[in-house]
Structure 1
Amino acid sequence: MSALDYVTGPALEQGHDVALYAPRIFRREARRRGVEFHRAGTDWTCDPAVQQTAGEIWKESGNPPFNRYVFGELWPDQAAAKAHDLITMWRRERPDLVIAECSDLGAHLAAKVLDLPVFAADNGLGPVLLDLWDTDIAPALTSLYKQHSQDTPLLPAMLTPAPVPWFYRTPPPAARAVRRTVAEFRTVLPERLDRSASCRPLVYVSLGTLTTAMPSLRAVVESVYREIMAALSGIGCDAIVSAGDLAQDLPSTDPRIEAPRVDAVEHVRQPALLRHVDLFVTHAGRASLLDAVQGTTPVLGMGVLADQPDNAGAFARRGLGRALDLTARPGEISDAVTAVLADSHYRDAMIAADAELSQLPPLDIRELRDSV
């Protein structure tokens, strides 16, 4: 849901009725944002067998085969169920505008079948989908489109919450960059995480939540957390490590990790915390990197899967931090952390990037609807 805050927030502020059509796992997050919820599609991403297979492909064959399997095979396979649910519901209550995640292939089809104006909202997967579209995704969708008497599958015009060149070597068709907003509750920092009294640099670490759900990846990511925490224990900094349900075991079972200077927690309000830290060690997911820009916090990117490795490299090339491979050892990590903390140019580059991000035009829902 956080990847769509730049759409739902402005729509609500502009007085529109906003409804989320999604699997039930998103119900709570929709309600936290004041968005009406309707269940559509299935919770297939929570299927242990799917998670196991996807994780094994990544572990054994690497990221490109993982992307082809997940985004070129699984997502198209699930589009039929989502399209069926949406066509049924939208025939009863027709929306004025559809803004669907770029990876929500079923919603794109449903909107096309019902001749509804539709835009694809970039959730970070836009570059991956474009790379796979002609070779994997469009061929996999062709039969489903024919069943609904539709032409060749095409991505709708893209909305993206960042300057297009930041993440795209080749811009997607009709791309429209719009201002990024964050849900208000995510901008408040709990008092227990306020470390303003410390004179040491504060490093925040998070490798995301997706990988810990995949059994084959979970052990790998846990090991990476331990290497990062061991590296941070050896330099003069404090650290907050957000590691989900891995957090309870990380410090207590590794003698290299010095507590409480390296504090493992399950979850933090990331946009709020990033306004108070000196460096972000991140898996380089799109939303996390943009949180870092808006917090003017340099990054050390350690991409895991999907778009993340490319994102980490893109930010390093822009001087917004550094990038390391996931297999980096504690010595390499501590050297990179020390180098970024010691060089003010990284923070200056982030301040400039934040200014560029804030100059994007706001998302105007009515204007968007009228432009179709």
Structure 2
Amino acid sequence: MSALDYVTGPALEQGHDVVLYAPGMFRREARRRGVEFRRAGADWTCDVAVQQAASEVWSKSGNVPFNRYVFGRLWPDQAEAKARDLIAAWTRARPDLVIAECSDLGAHLAARVLDLPVFAADNGLGPVLLDLWDGDIAPALACLHKQYGQDTAVLPAMLTPAPVQWFYSTPPPSARAVRRTVAEFGSALPQWLDDGFSSARPLVYVSLGTLTTAMAGLRTVIGSVYREIMAALCDIGCEAVVSAGDLAPDLRSADPRIRVVEHVPQPALVRRADLFVTHGGRASLLDAVQGATPVLGMGVLADQPGNVAGFARRGLGRTLELTATRGEIADAMTAILGNPRYEAAVTAADAELSQLPPLDVMQLRDCGDAQDGFGLASRPGSRIHVNEMELHDPWQ
């Protein structure tokens, strides 16, 4: 749910009732954020067969065919079930505003069928979806939209938690950049981490995401990348925290300066780090900016390769291929650590990010009314329905 914190957090603070409609796997995360939960859609992305097929496409054919298969085929195939659940739920309890992940195609359709104001919340997949929309996604949704008496599928007006030009060469339809917020529980380090760092050595934080370690077809590849990174860390005389998810038990460090863990509160740790080695998911890169920490990007799939390339062009760090060797990784880390131009660039980016306006739910709802003519009553305590597709941060 971290991909929607910039929506749910402000909505709760402004006194609105927020309901998350998502598969059951998100129930705990909704509770941690004080958000009401309603089950909708299926946990289909957790299916081992689905993950295996997707990872095989990536391994054999590369990232572009992977994106077309996952987001141009699998995602549209699942839209009907989500739309059916939401139409039934929203007929019983009509929301004042729907904010759906940009990849939640079923929620977009359900909102159109019921004439509800809807915005797409960019979860990092916006650039991928725009690239695939006309050639893959819209045609794949044509029959479903016709079934519900709707015209050609279109992406709703987009909310994005960063300056639009950071991730888009061509802005998405009606893009609105808003200030990024993170959940409060991600802002504090555990005591065992907070007390254990030496100020005499640089601190490097490493994380290559969660999906890559969960998918059997990618696990071996990513495990090898982690081992090369850890070998490079041993060579440069730093301290490091390696957050490797399910792979953590398989990654043993002989160097006491390198700690391997399953998970950490990333926003808090990035603020302490001098360098972030990352797969380049949108949330991770924005965590780095808000922590004023340069990045070494090693993009894996989906939007990640494009994200890290864009950050390198902006001077916020460097990029390497997943096939980089121990020596190449060590050289790149050394080139970034202590280089004032990277620190200055990421500090400037943090200032730019912090200047974005906060999300104003009433203004957003009124904008939806004016744009689409829904004429809902304007009042505090509006019921905001937020929709999460079956995967969030992992695909980032």
Report the TM-score, using the length of structure 2 for normalisation: 0.92
- d(CA) in 2 for partners of 1:246 and 1:158? 35
- Describe the SS at the equivalent of 1:38: strand
Check if 1:241 corresponds to 2:237. Answer: no
Alignment match, 1:215: 216
- Asked if 1 retains the 8 angstrom alpha-carbon contact of 2:197 and 2:239, the reply is no
Check if 1:188 corresponds to 2:184. Answer: no
- Describe the SS at the equivalent of 1:18: strand
- d(CA) in 2 for partners of 1:359 and 1:235? 36
- Describe the SS at the equivalent of 1:342: coil
Q: 2:281 aligns with which of 271, 279, 285?
A: 285
Alignment match, 2:132: 132
Alignment match, 2:301: 305
- d(CA) in 2 for partners of 1:233 and 1:19? 47
- Asked if 2 retains the 8 angstrom alpha-carbon contact of 1:298 and 1:346, the reply is yes
Q: How does 1:13-92 map to 2 (within 5 A)?
A: 13-92=13-92
Q: How does 1:1-372 map to 2 (within 5 A)?
A: 1-194=1-194, 195-251=196-252, 257-372=253-368
- Asked if 2 retains the 8 angstrom alpha-carbon contact of 1:125 and 1:306, the reply is yes
- d(CA) in 2 for partners of 1:221 and 1:26? 25
Report the TM-score, using the length of structure 1 for normalisation: 0.98
- d(CA) in 1 for partners of 2:5 and 2:44? 23
Aligned length in residues: 367
- d(CA) in 2 for partners of 1:208 and 1:99? 25
In the TM superposition, structure 1's runs of 4+ consecutive aligned residues that sit over 2 Å from their partners are 195-198
- d(CA) in 2 for partners of 1:45 and 1:259? 36
Q: CA deviation at 1:262?
A: 1.1
- d(CA) in 2 for partners of 1:282 and 1:324? 10
Q: CA deviation at 1:260?
A: 1.1
Aligned AA (2:313): R
- d(CA) in 1 for partners of 2:60 and 2:331? 29
Aligned AA (1:349): A
| Structure with larger RCO (C-alpha < 8 A, sep 6+) | 2
Spell out, residue by residue over 1:226-258, the C-alpha distance to the aligned partner (whole angstroms, 9 max, x if none). Answer: 01001111111011000012112212xxxxx54
- Asked if 2 retains the 8 angstrom alpha-carbon contact of 1:282 and 1:301, the reply is yes
- Describe the SS at the equivalent of 1:280: strand
- d(CA) in 2 for partners of 1:222 and 1:32? 30
- Asked if 2 retains the 8 angstrom alpha-carbon contact of 1:233 and 1:258, the reply is no
- d(CA) in 1 for partners of 2:347 and 2:304? 22
Aligned AA (2:191): E
- d(CA) in 2 for partners of 1:249 and 1:127? 34
Aligned AA (1:228): I
- d(CA) in 1 for partners of 2:317 and 2:21? 37
Q: CA deviation at 1:196?
A: 4.2
- Describe the SS at the equivalent of 2:111: helix
- Asked if 1 retains the 8 angstrom alpha-carbon contact of 2:23 and 2:43, the reply is yes
